[in-house]
Structures are given as structure tokens and as C-alpha cells.
Amino acid sequence: MTASISLTTYIAEWLTTFKETTVKQSTYDRLLTSARALEEYDISNKPIGEITCVDIQRYVNDLTKRGYSLTTIKKQMRIVTAPLKQASALHIIPADPGVGIRLPSRYNVLKPERLIEAYNDKEQTALLDVLSRGQRKGYPAIALMIETGLRVGEVLALRWQDVQLSRKRINVRNTVVRLANKKQSFVQDSVKSESSRRSVPLTPTAICLLEDLFVTKRSEWVFTNSDGERLSYEALRYQTRKACTEAGIEYRGEHVFRHTFATNCYHRGIDVKILSRLLGHADVNITYNLYIHLYGDGFDEMYDALVGTV
């Protein structure tokens, strides 16, 4: 392999050689998506030996001007810089051109980061009333997400062997992964991260929900379709839309149930450290940064501490 090959060609080789068997299938799928999105830019056809820091910076600047979010810009920058760093380490190119690249400031990003949304008490009451009627197979799954904060993939991957009703807990060990480039999904024998592997306590409401399902269980899976097969993402999304329509509330995706759970925990006075463990975050700072709008900047606590010392 020489420095005269195009960036697109090298990335394809890099993905196959260094990534396909060393990362999770979901991670590899995201990398493929980023690589394909890169193809419409001029830098993709440039020989890797001629790419400079300026070329990459111009690519990042172009993404910024086109209005992409900061998260997307970071992903697209990495699909360029990571393979070139590898090429430099292998002495295919003389130096790593990714050194010194600057991401745009948040003030210059046209598309703001997605706000964390949750259903308020009134919306939850309306939705839970619809879900309690159990007209569709996915309704209990939605209710369990609101009650436990489980991710969509974690709920869909639940087997009855993961449920310990006598101990009032669920053991989260697997997740359903969707591969956009292969248009398929499968149960991954691991979760998003090591911290995601956890035991989640069940509330009395969650226990009643699962007990009702257990009486009529027809499969190893907790949530199934009419044929007893594992409930799919597509089916759950369709049923969630239906439930929201029936409840007269806006459909905001399935991840909103996790945010709703977190918001409910905050209003119950649950500490951010406990919430972080419940959600399976790798670091409490992740939880705090996501829900800083709930926990605030700590001004009141600082004020009380100062006044208390006077």
C-alpha cells in the first residue's frame, strides 16, 4: 500500500483490517455510515500522502457551515483522522496530518445539540392510561422503560432468566443492536459498556407489570409479538406512535422514556450518583451533564453553605 491511494480507498482497507473484528458490530456499522457520508466531499478522493492539516480543517469547517451538529462533526472528523494516524504509524505517510485540528466552538455550530426532553406529569398520566389497557404487545415494554429507565435495546433483549421477581430486580446483560448498513438487528451478548451491565431494582408497579406478563408467557423473551417472537424495534416504534396518538401527546421517540424516568427520579430527591448507577452510565459526570438542567449549577447549595458559616 502506498501514499498515492485515495482517502476513501485507505479508509475501506483500514475498516476491514483494523476495525471489523476488533470493535462491536454496532460500532463498525457507525463507522461505515461515517465513511459513506465522507464520500461526497473532495477530501475523500485526495491521495493520503497529500492530505494536510489544512485539508482536514477545511473539511471540518465545511461540515460546520452546512449546519451539522457538533456530535456529527466529531464523528466525521474521526473517520478521517483515525485512519490517517494509523497510516502514519505504519509509515505509509510521513506524518500524521490530523495533529492540530480544531473543532468549532458551540457558538459557531448552527444546529444546536439536542435538548433533553421528558414527558411532564400530565402527559405521563395520559400515556400510562393508554398503556394500562394493554391493547398492543409493546405497551408493557413502554411502561417498563418509564418505570426503570432501561434503554430500548435493553428492554427488547430481556429474557425471563434476567428477571428475578422474588428479589425485585432485573439483571441487564444484553442489548438489541440495529445495523443500519445491513438493515438487520440482533441480540448482542453484552451491553453498551461495562457500566451498563447492572441490576436494576423493580418498583411495585414494575413487579405487577411483569407478573401479569409472566402468567401468559409464551417465549424466553419478556416482550414478544403475537407469534411469540422477540418484539422488534420497528414494531415497538410503531406501537409507541400509536400510544402517543391515543394519549393525545407528541411522539418524541423511545429514548424520551429514559429521560422521563431520570426526571421522575430527580423530583423524588434521588441523588445524581444513584441515578447514574440506575441508568448504567460509565461516569457520574455523564449523568450530570445530561441532566444539569435539573440539578442546576449548585448556586443555592453554595449560598446556603456560605450563609451557614456566618
Predicted pLDDT of residue 12:
96
pLDDT score of 308: 62
pLDDT band at 188 (very low <50, low <70, confident <90, very high): confident
Statement: residue 309 has pLDDT above 60: no
Give domain limits for the chain: 7-108, 121-295
**89 falls in which pLDDT band (50, 70, 90)?**
very high
Number of Cβ atoms within 10 Å of the Cβ of 64 = 18
Q: Mean pLDDT, to the nearest integer, of 263-288?
A: 90
What is the tens place of the pLDDT at every residue in 111-165?
Answer: 666 678 899 999 999 999 999 987 899 999 999 999 999 999 999 999 999 999 9
Question: According to the model, what pLDDT value does residue 54 have?
Answer: 96
**Mean pLDDT score of the chain:** 90
Q: What is the pLDDT of residues 5-42, one digit of tens each?
A: 999 999 999 999 999 999 888 889 899 999 999 999 99
What is residue 92's predicted lDDT score, i.e. its pLDDT?
A: 95
Residue 291: pLDDT band (50, 70, 90) is confident
pLDDT score of 143: 97
Q: What is the pLDDT of residue 196?
A: 79
Which element (helix H / strand E) includes 308? helix 299-309
Lowest-confidence region among 69-73, 283-287, 293-297:
293-297
Its CATH class, for the domain covering 121-295, is mainly alpha
- What is the per-residue pLDDT across 93-106, written as a single tens digit (0 to 9) for each? 999 999 999 999 88
**301 vs 158, more confident:** 158
175-179 and 184-188 beta bridge pairing: antiparallel
Confidence check: pLDDT of 303 > 70: no
pLDDT for the residue 302: 61
Residue 182 has pLDDT above 80, yes or no: no
Higher pLDDT among residues 193 and 37, named by residue: 37
Distance CA 170, CA 200 (A): 5
Second-level CATH architecture of 7-108: Orthogonal Bundle (1.10)
Mean pLDDT (whole number) for 261-290: 90
pLDDT score at 179: 78
Q: Taking the chain, what is the end-to-end CA distance rounded to the nearest angstrom?
A: 71
Check residue 27 and give its pLDDT.
87
Name which of 190, 157, 192, 180 is nearest 28 in CA terms: 180
Q: Where are the alpha helices (DSSP H) in 39-177?
A: 53-65, 70-89, 121-131, 139-148, 152-156
Q: How far is CA 263 from the centre of its chain?
A: 18
Burial of 298 (0-12, 13-18, 19+ CB in 10 A): exposed
Is the pLDDT reported for residue 228 higher than 70?
A: yes
Q: What is the pLDDT of residue 75?
A: 95
Say whether pLDDT at 253 is over 60.
yes
Alpha-helix residue ranges (DSSP H) falling in the chain: 7-14, 25-38, 53-65, 70-89, 121-131, 139-148, 152-156, 204-215, 233-247, 256-267, 272-279, 284-290, 292-295, 299-309
Q: Where does the pLDDT of residue 216 fall: very low under 50, low under 70, confident under 90, or very high at 90 and above?
A: confident
What is the average per-residue pLDDT within 264-288?
90
User: What predicted TM-score, i.e. pTM, was given to this entire model?
Assistant: 0.75
pLDDT bucket at 300, cuts 50 / 70 / 90: low
